[in-house]
Every structure is written in structure tokens, then in C-alpha cells.
Amino acid sequence: MTAHPPQKSGALRHAVELTKSIIPPVHPGGRPFILGAAVATLAVRRLSRRAGVPAAVVTAWLAWFFREPKRVTPRRPGIAVAPADGTVSHVVEAVPPAELSLGDAPMLRVSVFLSVFDVHVQRSPATGEVVRAVHKAGQFLSADLDEASEVNERNSLHLRTDDGVDLAVVQIAGLIARRIVCQVADGDKVLAGDTYGLIRFGSRVDLYVPTGSRVLVEPGQRTIGGETVLAEYTPAAG
């Protein structure tokens, strides 16, 4: 058997690593859609090569839509990073979802709206433990409306950070988004920046931080999930 020269093996490894750095992996929640589209594309191509072109474009778009790029998350204490890619739509005081039993006192809510062009995975805003994860059925209003936080279908997490601070992060379905995927449950440990869920086809994510926190973003600003610092909060005493 002929061995490959070291130079060629090294070049191949470099090419593979370069490809991985350019083409992000796909979230598992999107694989059934991509596989189904790929099978349909092959079937269509057998009937007509011309018709197979748009089918292949749809398959490629789905692979791009469900991408899960690697992110470099800041690790300093006392910060909450963006749980999603998108555009900040609201920064207001609001009572967190009642199903999380966090009380009636308002918290600061930073809402991030995701268009169909954004990465649609959600990431933990801080390192800590999931105290409670609750799914609530609801309506499917446009996710950029303020009332969507209260009436739309959603999945809410109460997260207690390692420094003892209670946060809430809420995946909200939108006009087109009808499927929320959450991969964590009560008692799970999460690391800041790690993927914990997915909303399919346009949506919104709300982050609630304690009143008195310093919010570092403004409405209209773009966020990068797992990287953009949305707020600084004061760690719990003791």
C-alpha cells in the first residue's frame, strides 16, 4: 500500500479544517428538514434536471438556515450575553413570565428579534443551572410586537447563575415560527454561550435581568448570540 507523502496529508488536513471554519455545522433540529429536502431534490432530478435546480437551492438554503456557528463567549463574571443573533427591538421594564414564579416585580427585558436571515439557535446567556423550564401554548402574533412576550407561544427558562443571580430567557414563536425546540430541563447545568435550543423560521428571544443592571445595547443594535454582552449585573452577596 502506498503511503501519502506528509506534505499532501498536511495539506489535506489544512483544507478540511479551512472548510470547517468557513461552513458552520448544522443544528440537529434542522437535519430532518435538510434530509427530507435532499431526498426530494434527488427524486425531482430523476424526473427533470431543470426542476432539480430550484429544489437543490431550497436544500442548500435549509442547510444555511439551520447553521450553528462556533462563537467565542466572554467569561468574565457579572455579565449576560445575547441568547440569540438578531436585532434589539425593545429594552423595557417588564414582569417575567408568570409560569417561572419569579414574582411580580419588574425586571429589565431586552428583546432580540430574529429575521429569517439570522442564525436561529439560542444560547445560554450565562453559566449556571436551569431552575425551571416551562413551555406555554399561545398565539402566533408577529414576534416584533411588544405584546408577543405575553400572548405568543413560548418556552421560558429560569436560570440561576453561578454567582447567585436569577435570569430569565424566553423563546417566543412568531407569525411564521411555529416550532420551538428546547434541549434543557430543570436541574441541567449550562455554560454561557452553549446552544440550548432552536426556533424554526423567524422569532424572538427575551432576556430578563435584574432591575439595576447596566444594559449595554440599544434598540436597533445587532447582536451576536453567545458573544454580544447585553447587560452587566451585580453578583449576589455571599
Give me the domains of the chain, ranges plus CATH numbers: 6-65 (no CATH), 79-232 (2.70.70)
- Compute the Cα dihedral for 177, 178, 183, 187 and give only its sign: positive
- Exposure b/e, 104-141, CB count within 10 A at least 16 = b: eeebbbbbbbbeeebbbbbbbbbbbebbbbbeeeeebb
Q: What integer pLDDT is reported at residue 133 of this predicted model? A: 96
Q: What integer pLDDT is reported at residue 39 of this predicted model? A: 81
Q: Residues for the chain: how many in total?
A: 238
Percent of the residues in the chain that have a pLDDT greater than 70, as a whole number: 76
Q: What integer pLDDT is reported at residue 18 of this predicted model? A: 45
Percent of the residues in the chain that have a pLDDT greater than 90, as a whole number: 50
Q: What integer pLDDT is reported at residue 207 of this predicted model? A: 98
Query: Which one has a higher pLDDT value, 24 or 70?
Result: 70
Q: Is 111 an active-site residue? A: no
Q: Find the mean pLDDT for residues 95-102.
A: 94
Query: Which one has a higher pLDDT value, 224 or 23?
Result: 224
Q: What integer pLDDT is reported at residue 100 of this predicted model? A: 95
pLDDT at 217 over 70: yes
Q: What integer pLDDT is reported at residue 124 of this predicted model? A: 97
Q: How far apart are the C-alpha atoms of 28 and 188, rounded to whole Å?
A: 19
Determine which one of 89, 124, 203, 213 is catalytic.
203
pLDDT digit string (tens) for 100-135?
999 999 999 999 999 888 888 999 999 999 999 999
pLDDT digit string (tens) for 157-188?
999 999 999 999 999 886 665 678 899 999 99
Of 29, 185, 174, 68, nearest in space to 112 by CA:
174
Q: What integer pLDDT is reported at residue 43 of this predicted model? A: 83
Write the CB contacts of 27 (distance below 8 Å, at least 6 apart in sequence): 66, 67, 68, 120, 121, 195, 198
Query: Which one has a higher pLDDT value, 177 or 34?
Result: 34
Mean pLDDT score of the chain = 83
pLDDT at 15 over 70: no
Q: What is the dihedral of CA 70, 71, 76, 78, to 10 degrees?
A: -110
Q: How far apart are the C-alpha atoms of 238 and 236, rounded to whole Å?
A: 7
Query: Which one has a higher pLDDT value, 79 or 56?
Result: 79
